[in-house]
Amino acid sequence: MKNYETMTVEKRGAVAVLTINRPDKLNALNSAVHREGVEILDELKNDAAVRVAVIKGAGEKAFVAGADISEFADATPVEQRDVMNSRSLFTVLDAFPKPIIAMINGFCLGGGNELAMACDIRIASDKSRFGQPEINLGIICGGGGTQRLTRLIGESKAMELILTGDMIDAQTAFGYGLVNYVYSAEELETKTMELANKIAEKSPIALQMSKEAVKFASRSNLDEGLRREIDLFAICFSTEDKREGVAAFLEKRKPVFKGR
Ligand code: COA
């Protein structure tokens, strides 16, 4: 892959690791991060060798400390609306068909928390801090925070975080259900890669269908969701992976899924 100004991407077997690389600005999301991140995700989407992605921030201090506030200074409402409605990292991550894990190694604030919430699974170090501090800038969340945080942790806790702008620590975020696991900073990467590799062994088609069905749950009513699940379940019966998975079970061996 080509070199990027604000991102690096590394392929470790079937897992692609994306790093937002602006540690001197605590990996704040400027327009270059969105543009380059979207380009990378579009490429990874079409790379059959990549089955799972991990996204992290460079340096010891932050995952992402939010949108780059310096870009807000002179933006007009219309310009800012266009930016938010464009193909941002939030929307492209949300629609990314392969599993993507946010590995959170420090401040996870504002757009950083929104980015993490657009991923499928969040794994944090015990040094991480989470919050939606937009209120302190006289604005509100614009990358999905009011919607995704509320769906993930419930209206009462989401409301408190959004109205106060306060930060919570990793254990509190775990208790709220915002992150799946908390590990020490030393263990974070190993544990994240273990989970990523475990998921990478599954059928890529079944992973994609599972993501679509689960994401539909918070976007539909129960009857529509159950119907969609049955359709996606039925589509799996057209795949070689389904034949392999069932045969491997009956033959008491490990399946090898090819994504066909
Ligand atoms: N946008 C742009 N720059 C940011 C940034 C952001 N969201 N968050 C941090 N930075 C920059 C700082 O301006 C500073 O740059 P400088 O060295 O050129 O002055 C650098 O990153 C380091 O941050 P600093 O504030 O010195 O670190 P700290 O440890 O004292 O504080 C935070 C860390 C996270 C508490 C603090 O940086 C902060 O509050 N950031 C903004 C968080 C926010 O409001 N995010 C939501 C945006 S919508």
The 10s digit of each residue's pLDDT in 69-85 is: 999 998 899 988 888 88
Q: Is the CB of 99 under 6 A from ligand 1?
A: no
Residues of the chain with CATH 3.90.226.10: 7-200
Residue nearest to atom 36 of ligand 1 (CA): 65
Residues of the chain with CATH 1.10.12.10: 204-250
**pLDDT at residue 1 tops 80:** no
| Ligand 1: centre distance to CA 4 (Å) | 22
Superfamily holding 7-200: 2-enoyl-CoA Hydratase; Chain A, domain 1 (3.90.226.10)
| 165 and 158 Cβ atoms separated by less than 8 Å | no
Q: Looking at the annotation, which residues are catalytic? A: 114, 134
The 10s digit of each residue's pLDDT in 193-211 is: 999 999 999 999 999 999 9
The 10s digit of each residue's pLDDT in 87-134 is: 899 999 999 999 999 999 999 999 999 999 999 999 999 999 999 999
* Entry pTM: 0.96
Task: Return mean pLDDT, the chain.
Answer: 96
Q: Within a 10 A sphere around the Cβ of 49, how many other Cβ atoms? A: 10
Class of domain 204-250 as given by CATH: mainly alpha
Closest ligand 1 atom, residue 134 Cα: 48
